[in-house]
Amino acid sequence: MRAFVFPGQGSQKVGMGTQLAAASSAAREVFEEVDEALDLNLSVIMAEGPEDQLTLTENAQPAIMANAIATLRVLENDFGVKLAETGSCVAGHSLGEYTALCAVGAFDLATTARLLKLRGQAMQAAVPVGEGAMAALLGADITKATALAEAAAEGEVCEVANDNDPGQVVISGHKGAIERAVALVKEYGIKRGVLLPVSAPFHCSLMQLAADRMAEALAETPPGTLALPLYANVTAAKVTDPAEEQSLLVQQVTGRVRWRESVAAMHAEGVEHFVELGGKVLSPMIRKIAGEAEATSLLSMEDLEGFASTL
């Protein structure tokens, strides 16, 4: 069994998608459609920067999605490899869950781009800049990270945001609480705490206003039928019902990204090959979670050609 997986925020970089766009009309059409949907030359920002514009949450989220969907379209149109025929399920990390839904036909490309632009704007607006923070805990498992977060909270919000792999957990919340947590890591047997260069405290209860905005948006443009099952971030469980997934996308804004558990669940169901489209962020995590499974990253035309030749 094979799972196709899609990266989240942090995987963006200036120059993304340029090789694919130069080599394939299928990729160019994706970038053009996203530009039109957003009424923004996002493809130029992706290709040329400036970096600070690309890293803005409202730009980074649709850009990462567009790059991954362009990679998928090239795989399908130029190499004849259809996701619905060669995959057993899909999953995505945070915003990558929207990309996964686009990949299986639950959202069209323009809708996905607009939802992610709104999601980025809503998440940024939910907490004033400087009030929230996030930190990566290296050498931490979920038990240690949870204990640390509870100790550091002191009446403020300090919650596990991402359970990425057996040795990396991300916490999110009020800036003071996150800074206290970083200072306490050694006391909880955690190797290191690193403050992340993010503009808002994602995936914690401080994001409730953003969740409310996404609930309204998703009520107007709900997901449709999924061509393949999806493993949802907030449950780490298989979803096939669009109405259930609509609710889970709202919960995802404030909820924990259970990536480690999601990969473990897919592997337990028989997935032996994970294929990451448009990034090289998830594959190292997958190898730590399900070491005996194969993890492949597809970014370039050479990557796609090599993968297609193995099928």
Task: Please count the other Cβ atoms lying within 10 Å of the Cβ belonging to residue 235.
Answer: 17
Note whether 225 and 182 are within 8 A (CB).
no
- What residues does 163 pair with on adjacent strands? 169
CA distances from 79 to 19, 26, 301 (A): 16, 11, 10
Q: Which of 11, 94, 262, 283 is catalytic?
A: 94
**Which pair of structure tokens corresponds to residue 144?**
């240690």
Burial of 130 (0-12, 13-18, 19+ CB in 10 A): exposed
Residues 59 and 57: their CA atoms lie apart, in Å, by 5
Burial of 224 (0-12, 13-18, 19+ CB in 10 A): middle
* 203 is known as an active-site residue: yes
* 273 is known as an active-site residue: no
Q: Which of 93, 174, 203, 267 is catalytic?
A: 203
Residues 97 and 282: their CA atoms lie apart, in Å, by 13
Residues 83 and 230: their CA atoms lie apart, in Å, by 13
- What residues does 135 pair with on adjacent strands? 171, 195
- Give which of 173, 171, 245 is closest to 214, Cα–Cα: 245
Residues 300 and 213: their CA atoms lie apart, in Å, by 36
Cite the active site residues. Answer: 94, 203
